[in-house]
Amino acid sequence: MKSFKTFLSLFAAVGLLALIVQCTTTEEVEIPLYSISGTVVLPDGSENAEGAVVYLTESATSTNYIAMAISDDFGAYTLSNIRGGDYFIWANFDSENTNSSGRLGGMKFSSTPQAVSVIAANAASDITLENSSPSGVAVSTTGAWTVDGSHSEVVFEFPYREFNGTFSGNFDSYDFAFEFDDGDLDNSTIWAEVDLRTIKTGQPGRDGRYTTESSVEGQDSLDNQGNVVEWFYAGCLTEYLGAAVGRGLNTVLTNDVTAIFWCDPSDTQRNDDIEIYGDGYRAKGTMNFNGVEAEVVAFFKFIDGYVSDGTQYSSFEAKFVFRAESDFSITASQVDDDVEVYSTIQLRKTL
């Protein structure tokens, strides 16, 4: 009996020792972790995508990512602390790093999930983004489509005196013309014109207007025959933008009362270009403003819209930034160099 108890004690001791060894061994084992790195580039490979969001998932269709990184100024990214295994990697990119789905912000790109294996070493995987603009877009304003001016707009904003505030406003008078076919971009054309005299910011001292007012309050301006005369009253922005010399009663309109943008890739004497860019298009054209012609790049998207009472309503959303002083000699300190212009061009055609 004594021998049996001794055996049981010895067995228990051996079991406890094995358990201690097992726990110690488990605690000492380290699971190796690796990294995946690479560069995110735009579809044609000419530009790196700064601010792209890179995701790592366990399947090509999963929306639950196990790691995420944001590419740096050079489009480079690194996913750290990744266990060995097989994964899929993909990226989303907004050219302005915004998540806005309303007013046109950046152009949106994405990539197809691609397989990447991490086997006992760090892995490398470059990502090429893909365009996703709609196909079959054809708009001719000399054909079936017309511009609905009552539902279109041209608005702008710029920092005031080096970001001391922000000026914003719109123009009441503008015109657009398109011969656009996304299947034949080399022969597509874009033309837009804005009347600078119709600037509106909500402040009469900044805006321009036609009036019959004279220097005497409450009285009309009359010519030598006593007829009422309408003349243009220029606010400070009308003068700054080059449409007038002087303000108020001393206004003299210039020959540059309009700003015009046009893009015609078929013109071999010019360097214009229209290309698919993300979920929209990029147009490199020319703007004539303040007596100066300079290159401007515009971004725009086509919105298919809706059908009502036998009429198709669609639109272009467009945006561009121009350098007022650097490119167009606008030297007023109140107008910052970078002026952003947004436009909604409502289109309609009878079906």
Please tell me which residue, 327 or 164, carries the higher pLDDT value. Answer: 327
**pLDDT surpasses 60 at 259:** yes
Q: Looking at the structure, do residues 47 and 177 belong to the same domain, yes or no?
A: no
Q: For residue 2, tell me if it sits in a domain.
A: no
Q: Where does the pLDDT of residue 20 fall: very low under 50, low under 70, confident under 90, or very high at 90 and above?
A: low
Q: Looking at the structure, do residues 60 and 112 belong to the same domain, yes or no?
A: yes
Q: Looking at the structure, do residues 192 and 325 belong to the same domain, yes or no?
A: yes
Q: For residue 72, tell me if it sits in a domain.
A: yes
Q: What is the pLDDT of residues 77-126, one digit of tens each?
A: 999 999 999 999 999 999 886 544 445 668 899 999 999 999 989 999 99
Tell me the residue range of the domain where 204 lies: 138-350
Q: Where does the pLDDT of residue 216 fall: very low under 50, low under 70, confident under 90, or very high at 90 and above?
A: very low
Looking at residue 351, its amino acid is L
- Tell me what the pLDDT averaged over the chain comes to: 85
- Would you state the pLDDT for residue 22? 55
Global pTM reads 0.81
Q: For residue 12, tell me if it sits in a domain.
A: no
Least confident of 12-26, 108-122, 251-265: 12-26
Please tell me which residue, 263 or 232, carries the higher pLDDT value. Answer: 263
Alpha-carbon span 340 to 164, nearest angstrom: 16
**pLDDT surpasses 60 at 254:** yes
Q: Which of residues 128, 151, 174 is at a domain's end?
A: 128
**pLDDT surpasses 50 at 218:** no
Query: CATH number, domain at 82?
Result: 2.60.40.10
Q: Looking at the structure, do residues 187 and 292 belong to the same domain, yes or no?
A: yes
Q: Looking at the structure, do residues 112 and 178 belong to the same domain, yes or no?
A: no
**pLDDT surpasses 80 at 333:** no
Q: Which of residues 128, 160, 181 is at a domain's end?
A: 128
Q: What is the pLDDT of residues 24-50, one digit of tens each?
A: 544 567 889 999 999 999 998 889 999
- Start-to-end CA span in the chain (Å): 104
Q: Where does the pLDDT of residue 128 fall: very low under 50, low under 70, confident under 90, or very high at 90 and above?
A: very high
- Would you state the pLDDT for residue 351? 92
Query: CATH number, domain at 159?
Result: 2.40.128.110
- Would you state the pLDDT for residue 264? 97
Give the pLDDT mean for 314-330: 92
Q: For residue 233, tell me if it sits in a domain.
A: yes
Q: Which of residues 98, 128, 158 is at a domain's end?
A: 128
Q: Looking at the structure, do residues 217 and 345 belong to the same domain, yes or no?
A: yes
Q: Where does the pLDDT of residue 8 fall: very low under 50, low under 70, confident under 90, or very high at 90 and above?
A: very low
Q: For residue 5, tell me if it sits in a domain.
A: no
- Would you state the pLDDT for residue 209? 77
Q: Looking at the structure, do residues 145 and 279 belong to the same domain, yes or no?
A: yes
Q: Looking at the structure, do residues 90 and 150 belong to the same domain, yes or no?
A: no
Please tell me which residue, 205 or 290, carries the higher pLDDT value. Answer: 290
**pLDDT surpasses 60 at 150:** yes
Q: Looking at the structure, do residues 50 and 194 belong to the same domain, yes or no?
A: no
Q: For residue 20, tell me if it sits in a domain.
A: no
Q: For residue 28, tell me if it sits in a domain.
A: no
